[in-house]
Structure 1
Amino acid sequence: MSDPITTHLIRISEVFADLIPDILEKLGAEKWKKLGPEYFLIDTANATLLRDGPAAKFIRFQIQVKHSWPCNPEKMDSFIEKAAQATYYKCESYNPQTILVGRLDTSSTKNYYKALASNFRGRALQVFELPESAPKSAEEQDPDKASLFCFVGKGGLFCGMSTPREAGGLHPGGTKYISQNSEDTISRAGAKVAEALHYLAMFRAPLPKYASWLELGASPGGMTSELLKRNYSVTAIDRAALDVRLANHLDLKVIRDDVAAFIPPKGIRYDAILSDMNGPAKLAITNVTRLVDFLKPGGLVITTLKTTGASSVEEIDELEKDVLKLAKEGGLTLITKTHLTYNRQEFTLFFEKV
């Protein structure tokens, strides 16, 4: 007897557009429909593939759909009121800790759906009458308690219950968007590590202020800058220079050296290692694991799995297995992994020292 078919809303980054048909097949999608630039509605009889299958890593965010209203909201009279009432009758019994609403097309410059999402959430919160203790924002959620995530777009309304941790983020669609428009921005890598730390907060407490970071391949300093803004101390290793705006920072030590040759001074122990180095993925993780002895017990490692040269889901999956094997042999335990907004064809991996 086969498992029942369930419907899921999933998000896969456009950077993997060429792999979408193969990804959906390996996710067990028996039927699917594209709802936005990165959103897909899929039917599957094997939902475990969405969590543990070889293509699960490509999913940035997911919910099992508990209520949907396929329609064009722009052409519906009283859409917000009707949608809020229907969602209440369908989902009230699930007792969500809060209600969050996102757009199916976050890249659109049209303000209609941004306003619709905000107004629908406001009305839904009134209809559900959540207790005063309910989280007032996405960041206040308990990552292990279920929330009602809803999405609106030209395809209609789609809602599902999930804990933020299982869904893939505190916000509808995944991690918090970090703007790069500031004049102080050195590179997009700064936004990448800020987003990574935001995601990691669902799995472990943030490192305290003044924690010490060893950053491998730091130039030009985008990630370095973000760590310094958070009052961390950073030892940055790179043969190339860092941006002049970081010169003379009291909490920054720059060492012009080859990462593969660098050896920390005797007695030094770091709270975390950060690596976003280009090059072969297995070489990158080897450069990290040879420095694990200089991490404190329980120390954190954040690194990227570059998939350059891997052109299929199978090749990327094998590359990931090889990297995780090397990390485990080097004394690291995987905490979690994800694909971030600012990741290209790469994944961010989070480890702890065993």
Structure 2
Amino acid sequence: MLANPSQALPAIGKHRLTNRLILAPMAGVTDRPFRQLCRRLGAGLVVSEMVTSDPSLWHTRKSRLRLDHCGEPGPRAVQIAGGDAAMLAQAARFNEARGAEIIDINMGCPAKKVCNKAAGSALLRDERLVAEILDAVVGAVKVPVTLKIRTGWCAESNNGLRIARIAEEAGIQALAVHGRTREQRYTGEAEYDTIAAIKSALKIPVFANGDIDSPVKAAAVMDYTGVDALMIGRGAQGNPWIFREIDHYLVHGEYLAPPARTEQWRVMRGHLVALHEFYGEHQGMRIARKHLGWYLDRSCLGRLDKHAPKRALRACFNALESARDQLHYIDELFCRRAPGDCAPCEPATDGISAA
């Protein structure tokens, strides 16, 4: 479905999206460097990694980094997770006081360590508790509250539509739905029938999530479900250009040219620098191995080095022991023309803004 220029973009409270594409919150992925990068490459909204509702953990290093939105443009959306209504309300107030302009509640995470604490998608099994949590959080803050869910706990408990109606009645101002049950985790294929049913039943904006990894798939999901926007998670890992490519396709009905080799290098290098600066060299290097592995795996980048398989490229990068070596590796990878031959690179800029 191509975008209709006369149709207003969806809004969350007073915040109108700049397009129909949202970066999904992903623990261990959507940190500040990645959010900033995706915004710059076309995401209309980005959502933070989930922040625990347990106040005893708010001052740990992990939480401090997840709560860091310095330099990010608004609206700043923060996802909170937990299973206790009072604690989630407290967490919402805490984040609102720190500058959050949208509070998102996590009822979609399938991870065992989250579900074992009766949080994330485990909450879908208790509709009464869902209502209690939503009422408490919506009533605790002045900023709009959104919700992310799955279609249900398992195939025999596909209650996404009932949860959606509870959410709208509680005052949730937008709902994101991943087209899988918790039992599926990330296996199989996402289904969109439940999302379409939810969209047709609700008046608030509904966002579709799950397996949206190309412009054609994005248009097909919008056409089938009628949703207001798309939420992209794993499709953006190693491919932050996906947002501008999908947006261009939805607006113009044609493919956008893939990023030039020079831009790929600048974005990857800038992302590396941002991770090193944000986390410090030691932790930044470890986190960079994950992100750069995704870049190297992405077919959209092609095989950067025709003389080495992707697995070998990742293994080589993961063995590097300094931030400088990681940067040099990327420089050499994009300059290399043949084994052992590295033509001089153009001067590199260490800021992410140069990407």
TM > 0.5:
no
**TM (normalized to structure 2)?**
0.32
**Structure with the bigger percentage of strand:** 1
**Larger CA Rg, structure 1 vs 2:** 1
**Structure with the bigger percentage of helix:** 2
**TM (normalized to structure 1)?**
0.32
